[in-house]
Amino acid sequence: MSAFSWISFFAFGPAGVHSSAIRRSPAAGRCSGRRRAGPSYSADMSECASLHIKGRVLAGPEDVRDELWVVDGRITYERPHRPSGAAEPTVLTGWVLPGLVDAHCHVGLDAHGPVDDSTSEKQALTDREAGALLLRDAGSPSDTRWIDHRDDLPRIIRAGRHIARTRRYIRNYAHEIEPGDLTAYVRREARRGDGWVKIVGDWIDREEGDLSACWPRWAVEEAIAAAHEEGARVTAHCFAEDSLQDLVEAGIDCIEHATGLTEETIPLFAERGVAIVPTLVNIATFPGLAAGGEAKFPRWAAHMRELHARRYDTVRAAWEAGIPVFTGTDAGGSLAHGLVGQEVGELVKAGIPVRDALSAATWGARAWLGRPALAEGDPADLVVLEADPRVDVRVLEAPSRVVLRGRIVH
Ligand SMILES: [Zn+2]
């Protein structure tokens, strides 16, 4: 499905009927109690609330409500009519945010390559426990499509499998190809994914002994245009400085990590609205990587240390320039899943105001990915927190309750 068809799928439902138009059904007054698979509706939709959440519902950065109800897996702010004899809804209390977004993680992958389905399931469950209910999978060699049929697992937006230059990425992860084949592979992964394609924009060049761009300009221009024709957005792994300008001028939609942003490239990103997912919890591993590669690749090691040392300044400068910034953890390579709360804390440490750091993991990220949040009729994917995250974002690291598709799962 293309990015656009995903948006219309969620906005209007598969039958093309707008959710708010059918929320009140002719069968109001009785509870069907039946579970329906997927976001479909039928005329006998019951009005019995399964959940009533009280406290402070942070429906948007400026939109705070006192309570919400969950009816048939969907959010409503109108008190539902309770037929006599119907069960009382379960009551939860706290600060409510939309299900958190990990916009850069990998399900079906570990440090060595693809993993089996039970390991993928554990990864998805770990994300769920942490309240990460919408994942943008930034490249996986495993087929995790089966997760879409599991109501109890987070929703995933896939970018297919990574596409890298030959011997220029972690072994067993990517399609490793040469520039002449880039467009064909990008088209193929665009069709396999959920509206995104992931390429590796730079990596260590062992002959040069340093990070360097992987693709000539003509190859990325042609490939990005092809992805857009297929209705997919393109993102690239970039640690270095020298890969960024060509990718942005070729029309890329997002850059992962983006540690190499400089005074020259920041205005370019801002002007074109190219988003970044800094993955600061992953950038924290740079000094360790540098120490490991020091003996063989001293220039690369020094470069990685320098990128690490300026990481907060880089992210803050990007945000100040108006570049959209979103949370991602890079879980699933060597990092554990479930760190999205920590990543919000890292954005705050970098100097991004709390409200924008929260948005990077919630309202803003969901809008960017074309997915619903906490509006009337939206699927009830949310987290309940013990304290106000606007006061201290560390509360995000351990949600007291997690609700997915209207069910309490944690
Ligand atoms: Zn990654």
User: HSE-up of 385 (CA within 13 Å, CB side)?
Assistant: 24
Considering Cα of 42, then 44, then 50, then 55, what sign does the dihedral take?
positive
Q: Which residues contact 99 (CB under 8 A, 6 or more apart)?
A: 131, 132, 133, 134, 154, 381, 382, 383, 402, 403, 404
317/399 same-domain check: no
Type of residue found at 224: I
Q: Look up the CATH number of the domain holding residue 149.
A: 3.20.20.140
Whose CA is closest to 133, among 350, 366, 385?
366
Ligand 1 mean position, distance from CA 105 (Å): 6
- The total number of structural domains that make up the chain: 2
394/294 same-domain check: no
Ligand 1 mean position, distance from CA 282 (Å): 9
93/197 same-domain check: no
Q: Look up the CATH number of the domain holding residue 382.
A: 2.30.40.10
Ligand 1 mean position, distance from CA 63 (Å): 33
Q: Which residues contact 271 (CB under 8 A, 6 or more apart)?
A: none
Q: What is the rounded distance in angstroms from the CA atom of residue 75 to the CA atom of residue 65?
A: 12
92/125 same-domain check: no
89/113 same-domain check: no
pLDDT tens digits, 304-338: 999 999 999 999 999 999 999 999 999 998 899 99
E strands present in 7-129: 49-60, 63-71, 74-76, 90-98, 100-105, 109-110, 113-114
Does residue 69 surpass a pLDDT of 50? yes
Hey, what are 11's tokens?
């906005």
193/246 same-domain check: yes
Ligand 1 mean position, distance from CA 164 (Å): 12
How many Cβ atoms sit within 10 Å of the Cβ of residue 210? 19
Which ranges in 93-181 belong to alpha helices (H)?
117-129
256/377 same-domain check: no
Whose CA is closest to 196, among 382, 18, 1?
1
37/142 same-domain check: no
Ligand 1 mean position, distance from CA 380 (Å): 28
Ligand 1 mean position, distance from CA 410 (Å): 27
pLDDT tens digits, 89-124: 999 999 999 999 999 999 999 999 999 999 999 999
227/354 same-domain check: yes
Q: What is the rounded distance in angstroms from the CA atom of residue 184 to the CA atom of residue 328?
A: 28
Ligand 1 mean position, distance from CA 165 (Å): 16
Place of tokens 């640690």: 239
The CA dihedral of 340, 398, 111, 350, to the nearest 10 degrees, is: 40
User: Residues whose CB is under 5 A from ligand 1 (ion)?
Assistant: 138, 330
206/232 same-domain check: yes
User: HSE-up of 8 (CA within 13 Å, CB side)?
Assistant: 8
Contact indicator for 284, 257 with CB cutoff of 8 Å: no
Ligand 1 mean position, distance from CA 139 (Å): 7
pLDDT tens digits, 371-390: 999 999 999 999 999 999 99
What pTM was computed for the model? 0.89
Does residue 12 surpass a pLDDT of 90? no
pLDDT tens digits, 154-194: 999 999 999 999 999 999 999 999 999 999 999 999 999 99
104/37 same-domain check: no
The CA dihedral of 101, 106, 108, 114, to the nearest 10 degrees, is: 180
Domain residues for 27?
Answer: 5-98+372-408
Query: Across the chain, what does the average pLDDT equal?
Result: 91
**Strand 74-76 relative to strand 63-71, pairing:** antiparallel
Q: Which DSSP state fits 169?
A: S
285/389 same-domain check: no
Apex 238 CA angle, 300 and 242, nearest 5: 70
